[in-house]
Amino acid sequence: MDCRGGGIVSASQHGGRIHAFARQHHLPLEQVLDASASINPLGPPASVLAALDPLAPWLRHYPDSDQWVVRRVLASRFGVDPDTIWCGNGATEVLDHMVMALKPARTWLVEPAFSEYARVAARHGSAVQRVVMPPPFDFPGALLDSGVSAHDLVVLNNPHSPSGRAWPRSDWEPFLRRWTARGAWVAVDEAFLDFLPDDQALSALPLTSAGRVLVIRSATKMFSLPGLRFGFGVGPRDLVERVSALRDPWSVNQLAQVAAVAAYRDDAFLRQTHRWLKDERPGFADALGRLPGVRVHSGRANFLLLEWASETAAQEAADQLAAAGILIRSLAAWRGLGARWSRVAVSTHPNNERLLDRLQTALT
């Protein structure tokens, strides 16, 4: 944790560390408002809870190591061949599978970016190459183009975290085709793309059938399932076969598989989420942007990127929120950003009002 105060999760860590936050501030977990992890506040869906309810007798059995049912549900939902899908214990494990199977000489990262990308690459002996993307966080194809070559892996995410920018296909498809033609691989992390109703028009999934383009998706954010951990990858069949030969066959537990089947069949929950985000995000962003000393950067995802007037202002805001039991995400160690930046999840209207009221009192 940041030694100067308890209101921000250390930027080298993942968000959502509410247990440590609650212990530090002597709070019961139910009193903590976690705005550090961008999890759908409407979930888990009722359909998922109903599917999990009768599963206790099945806990004595091993899970399906082939994830046969869930892969077919995913194939139907996303219009791909089930043999091009593999599942993992969260999106980070899926990326780990990918790098382990590809063994890229170099892994290109566009920063600011999720720290696990670099950790996974380093763990498998791939040299990490970094380029920094400045605000307003336009697609960084030109920054990468001259460096990417055969046997490289480029890791992107769309919508981009932490900015929330969602890049249309016309921005990135020419670059992806050029890099793969050189013999490079491109992995696109689409963990937040389910939150956008036009996700099919923004997704790289149609390019996976041509080879060398890979997509990572996650049930964690959209369906509020971080406690179960479920992610999946889509790529060429030969890569999926390599992954299957290398991975732990039991890493996706029975509960996660059943939850994912119910979640990805629940179109009504997706529509409900899209309506909530469309209604809630603009007003929340506008209210934060009217506070003194903070700028809200434009984006479309279920979180907001905040730029404070100074590092001191950012820390004071985080401390004030922590005193009210509210946890936000610091971006102090994210390359290209720093201690003046933080990320805040969009939550329900009452939760957003709770955060705003505390900041308004503190800053005005």
pLDDT tens column, 270-314: 999 999 999 999 999 999 999 999 999 999 999 999 999 999 999
Q: Do domains 8-43+268-363 and 46-265 have the same CATH topology?
A: no
Provide the angle, in degrees to the nearest 10, between the axes of the packed helices 91-102 and 115-123: 40
What are the C-alpha distances in Å from 124 to residues 77, 101, 215, 274? 32, 10, 19, 38
Q: Judge contact between 219 and 225, C-beta under 8 A.
A: yes
Handedness of CA 224, 226, 228, 234 (dihedral sign): positive
162-197, pLDDT tens digit by residue?
999 999 999 999 999 999 999 999 999 999 999 999
Structure tokens at 287: 């209210």
Of 215, 264, 261, 263, nearest in space to 236 by CA = 215
Neighbours of 325 (CB within 10 A): 19
Structure tokens at 48: 């998922």
Of 39, 41, 53, 38, nearest in space to 259 by CA = 53
223 vs 265: CA distance, rounded Å:
11
93 vs 248: CA distance, rounded Å:
10
CATH entry, 8-43+268-363, from 3.20.20.70, 3.30.420.40, 3.90.1150.10, 3.30.70.100 = 3.90.1150.10
Q: Which residues pair with 341 in a beta bridge?
A: 307
Work out the pLDDT band at 15, boundaries 50, 70, 90. Answer: low
Q: Average pLDDT over the chain, rounded to whole?
A: 93
Domain map (residue ranges) of the chain: 8-43+268-363, 46-265
80-101, pLDDT tens digit by residue?
999 999 999 999 999 999 999 9
Q: Which CATH architecture has domain 46-265?
A: 3-Layer(aba) Sandwich (3.40)
Q: Judge contact between 197 and 205, C-beta under 8 A.
A: no
98 vs 105: CA distance, rounded Å:
13
Predicted structure pTM score:
0.93
Alpha carbons within 13 A on the beta-carbon side of 92: 12
Of 165, 103, 90, nearest in space to 133 by CA = 165
Work out the pLDDT band at 36, boundaries 50, 70, 90. Answer: very high
Of 364, 355, 356, 348, nearest in space to 326 by CA = 355
- Tokens 């956008």 — which residue? 196
151 vs 222: CA distance, rounded Å:
33
3 pLDDT higher than 50: no
Estimate to the nearest angstrom the gap between the alpha carbon of 20 and the chain centroid: 21
